[in-house]
């Protein structure tokens, strides 16, 4: 978010009947951009005298704005409507993520070795009902920022060795791993797209049918970046209760890498996620699965423990685990939550 402090006393006074253009400019200056949970965001989440500004915005909604006149293609009523819309948006932005409606965020991934900086553009539709997949969750971003280290230390045999060389239709030569990524419960696709572009792997990102449309939108939105790296990514539907009818777009349903970020929301999910990994991971000792689970409370800690127990029962070997600090839209005062993550291999790894 912007770090510019705006004092409500510096805003145009309604009793002085400010011009339409002045009010529009002032309302646009009060925009609160969606956070990407960086340190600067945490430091400047509320630098704007928000209580007084909220009162100012409310005063605009209460005002008849009856001094407005026709001009520049808009009549007085249209101008009034535009001001009320802008005012409502500014208030919604101050009421938390659920009130903000559709948003888009740009997520910047730093350079690594000879790879340039990458920027992913992710759309999040309005949060309606139980559609948790329409929001980008803090664990996805926290883990995306760790993917270079994780890839180097735990997936290097899959993403740096055993490479394919190919030429695209323009004649450009690329190298990329033979390994493909399957992401479970992709949501908005941030984590899966980050893994694809940072590890240079083709990827299938999956979720429920109701989520898949926005997931596909975000893949297409980042198509230029994917193409520039010679990568293919697509969305597909995968219902964990009906895996036999999932991945309808895939002819090869075995993957060397299976990923999931923040996939556990009820007591049935640990077993479902373990089943999906077992079902779709390529039966090879070099294949790997990684799951990250935010430890929001005792219930989610229990989900993480249950997942580990089931993976052990399925004879997967936990090769490494750790915790990362993550932030989210609904944390207070930059409150941090730890996310547990683990990397598994198949038996005899």
H helix runs in the chain, sequence order: 20-29, 39-43, 50-62, 76-93, 138-144, 147-154, 156-159, 190-199, 209-221, 223-228, 269-280, 298-313
Q: At residue 9, does pLDDT exceed 90? A: no
Share of the chain above pLDDT 90, in %: 63
Q: How confident is the model at residue 2 (pLDDT cuts 50, 70, 90)?
A: very low
Q: Comparing C-alpha atoms, which of 336, 341, 261 is closest to residue 41?
A: 336
- Among 73-82, 89-98, 110-119, the minimum mean pLDDT is found in 89-98
For residue 244, give both structure tokens: 């036999």
Q: Is pLDDT larger for residue 68 or for residue 331?
A: 68
Q: At residue 210, does pLDDT exceed 80? A: yes
Q: At residue 271, does pLDDT exceed 60? A: yes
**Most confident residue range from 67-81, 199-213, 321-335:** 199-213
With a CB cutoff of 8 Å and minimum separation 6, the contacts of 110 are 117
Residue 338: strand pairing partners: 325
Report the alpha-carbon distance of residue 184 to residue 243 in Å, rounded: 11
Q: How confident is the model at residue 46 (pLDDT cuts 50, 70, 90)?
A: very low
- Identify the pLDDT of residue 146: 96
Report the alpha-carbon distance of residue 148 to residue 150 in Å, rounded: 6
Q: Is pLDDT larger for residue 58 or for residue 322?
A: 322
- Identify the pLDDT of residue 300: 94
Q: pLDDT tens digits for 132-149?
A: 657 888 899 999 999 999
Q: At residue 246, does pLDDT exceed 90? A: yes
Q: At residue 65, does pLDDT exceed 50? A: yes
Q: Are 167 and 173 spatial neighbours (Cβ–Cβ below 8 Å)?
A: yes
Q: Are 332 and 320 spatial neighbours (Cβ–Cβ below 8 Å)?
A: no
Q: How confident is the model at residue 257 (pLDDT cuts 50, 70, 90)?
A: very high
For residue 26, give both structure tokens: 């002032």
Q: Is pLDDT larger for residue 126 or for residue 201?
A: 201
How far is C-alpha 262 from the geometric centre of its chain's CA atoms? 11
Report, as an integer, the average pLDDT of 281-298: 96
Share of the chain above pLDDT 70, in %: 87
Q: Comparing C-alpha atoms, which of 203, 205, 225 is closest to residue 213?
A: 205
Average pLDDT value for the chain: 87
Q: Are 304 and 272 spatial neighbours (Cβ–Cβ below 8 Å)?
A: no
Report, as an integer, the average pLDDT of 312-328: 93
Q: How confident is the model at residue 48 (pLDDT cuts 50, 70, 90)?
A: low
Report, as an integer, the average pLDDT of 153-163: 92
Report the alpha-carbon distance of residue 121 to residue 221 in Å, rounded: 7
For residue 121, give both structure tokens: 């553009």
Q: At residue 330, does pLDDT exceed 60? A: no
SS3 state at 345: strand
Strand duo 163-167 + 118-124: pairing: unpaired
- Among 58-67, 205-214, 282-291, the minimum mean pLDDT is found in 58-67
- Identify the pLDDT of residue 5: 66
- Identify the pLDDT of residue 36: 63
With a CB cutoff of 8 Å and minimum separation 6, the contacts of 77 are none
Q: Is pLDDT larger for residue 302 or for residue 55?
A: 302
- Among 77-86, 220-229, 264-273, the minimum mean pLDDT is found in 77-86
- Identify the pLDDT of residue 1: 41
Q: Could you identify the residue written with the tokens 């659920």?
A: 98
SS3 content of the chain, % helix, strand, coil (to 5): 40, 20, 40
- Identify the pLDDT of residue 163: 84
- Among 95-104, 144-153, 232-241, the minimum mean pLDDT is found in 95-104
DSSP 33: P
Q: Is pLDDT larger for residue 116 or for residue 36?
A: 116
Put the strands of the sheet holding 181-184 in their side by side order. Answer: 233-237, 203-207, 181-184, 257-261, 288-294, 337-345, 317-326
Cα separation values, 126 from 56, 129, 205, 210, Å? 26, 10, 21, 13
């Amino acid at each position: 978010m912007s770090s510019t402090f705006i004092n409500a006393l510096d805003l145009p006074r309604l009793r002085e009947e400010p011009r339409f253009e002045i009010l529009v400019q002032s309302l646009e200056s009060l925009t609160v951009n969606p956070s990407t949970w960086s340190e600067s965001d945490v430091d400047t989440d509320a630098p704007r005298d928000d209580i007084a500004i909220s009162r100012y915005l409310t005063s605009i909604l209460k005002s008849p704005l009856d001094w407005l006149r026709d001009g520049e293609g808009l009549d007085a009523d249209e101008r009034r409507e535009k001001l009320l819309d802008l005012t409502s948006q500014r208030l919604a932005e101050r009421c938390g993520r659920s009130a903000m409606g559709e948003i888009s965020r740009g997520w910047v991934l730093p350079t690594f070795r000879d790879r340039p900086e990458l920027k992913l553009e992710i759309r999040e539709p309005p949060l309606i009902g139980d559609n948790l997949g329409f929001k980008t969750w803090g664990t996805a971003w926290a883990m995306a920022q760790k993917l270079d280290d994780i890839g180097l230390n735990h997936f290097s045999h899959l993403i740096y060795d055993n490479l394919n060389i190919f030429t695209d239709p323009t004649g450009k030569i690329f190298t990329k791993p033979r390994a493909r990524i399957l992401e479970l419960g992709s949501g908005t696709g941030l984590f899966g797209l980050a893994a694809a572009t940072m590890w240079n792997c083709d990827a299938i990102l999956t979720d429920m049918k109701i989520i898949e449309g926005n997931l596909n939108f975000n893949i297409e939105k980042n198509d230029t970046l994917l193409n520039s790296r010679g990568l293919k990514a697509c969305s597909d539907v995968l219902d964990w209760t009906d895996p036999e009818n999932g991945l309808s777009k895939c002819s090869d349903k075995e993957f060397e890498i299976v990923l999931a970020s923040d996939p556990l929301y009820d007591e049935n999910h640990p077993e479902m996620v373990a089943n999906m990994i077992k079902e779709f991971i390529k039966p090879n000792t070099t294949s790997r699965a990684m799951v990250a689970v935010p430890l929001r409370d005792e219930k989610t800690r229990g989900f993480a423990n249950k997942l580990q127990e089931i993976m052990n029962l399925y004879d997967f070997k936990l090769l490494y685990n750790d915790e990362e600090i993550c932030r989210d839209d609904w944390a207070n005062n930059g409150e941090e939550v730890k996310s547990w993550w683990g990397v598994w291999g198949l038996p005899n790894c």
